[in-house]
């Protein structure tokens, strides 16, 4: 305590309380102020909580009164128009039958793994060692694991390593099955 009988920390507590109060009021002011910006600009506000009818029937004069003091006033109001979609000038690639099949396999891997197994085996017979066979064979192993046919999954993992030694899914299959590629045997000395 000091000579006046007041605690020394009392003044600093009052200052801290005043600063906290000012910060809280400033935060409330920032949350309460309404700014309108053009769609896509920084600071754009979402009005999804307001009913659409209320936004459309709000008079223009009422919107003008919501401007922040000191903010620049646009020279003319912008007409409300929907944003124009950007078009990709490049032609879209046509999906090959095998890539469409892989899309279906990915979509059904957890919901219908038996169908994925059937599709993978049919694709293997139809497309052989194509560019997409790496992923197709890995999806087959995943489908067998989802069917809880671990022995078959391990056999297919060995098949995968025989056909895709440095395949993109080798680490994934090792983690799922514990099967790893067999090292090549040494040649004659």
**What gap in Å lies between CA 170 and CA 157, rounded to an integer?**
9
Any idea where the domains of the chain sit in the sequence? 97-177
Q: H helices of the chain, where?
A: 9-32, 52-57, 60-64, 97-108, 113-127, 133-146, 150-163, 170-177
List pLDDT tens digits, range 143-162.
999 999 999 999 999 999 99
List pLDDT tens digits, range 104-121.
999 999 999 999 999 999
Residues in CB range of 153: below 8 A, 6 or more apart: 141, 144, 145, 176, 177
Q: Which of 76, 139, 154, 63 lies closest to 108 in space, CA to CA?
A: 139
109 burial class (0-12, 13-18, 19+ CB within 10 angstroms)?
A: middle
For the cut 50, the answer to whether the pLDDT of residue 54 exceeds it is no
pLDDT (mean) for 51-71: 53
**What gap in Å lies between CA 137 and CA 121, rounded to an integer?**
9
Which pLDDT belongs to residue 15? 77
């Amino acid at each position: 305590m000091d000579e006046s009988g007041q605690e020394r920390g009392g003044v600093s507590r009052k200052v801290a309380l005043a600063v906290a109060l000012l910060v809280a009021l400033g935060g409330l002011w920032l949350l309460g102020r309404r700014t309108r910006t053009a769609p896509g600009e920084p600071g754009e506000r979402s009005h999804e909580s307001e009913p659409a009818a209320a936004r459309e029937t709000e008079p223009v004069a009422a919107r003008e009164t919501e401007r922040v003091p000191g903010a620049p006033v646009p020279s003319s109001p912008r007409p409300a128009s929907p944003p124009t979609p950007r078009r990709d000038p490049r032609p879209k690639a046509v999906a090959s039958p095998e890539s469409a099949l892989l899309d279906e396999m990915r979509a059904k891997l957890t919901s219908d793994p038996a169908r994925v197994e059937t599709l993978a085996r049919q694709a293997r017979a139809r497309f052989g060692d194509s560019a997409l066979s790496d992923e197709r064979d890995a999806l087959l192993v995943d489908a067998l694991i989802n069917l809880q046919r671990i022995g078959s999954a391990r056999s297919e993992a060995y098949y995968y390593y025989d056909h895709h030694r440095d395949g993109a899914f080798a680490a994934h299959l090792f983690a799922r099955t514990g099967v790893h590629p067999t090292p090549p045997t040494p040649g004659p000395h």
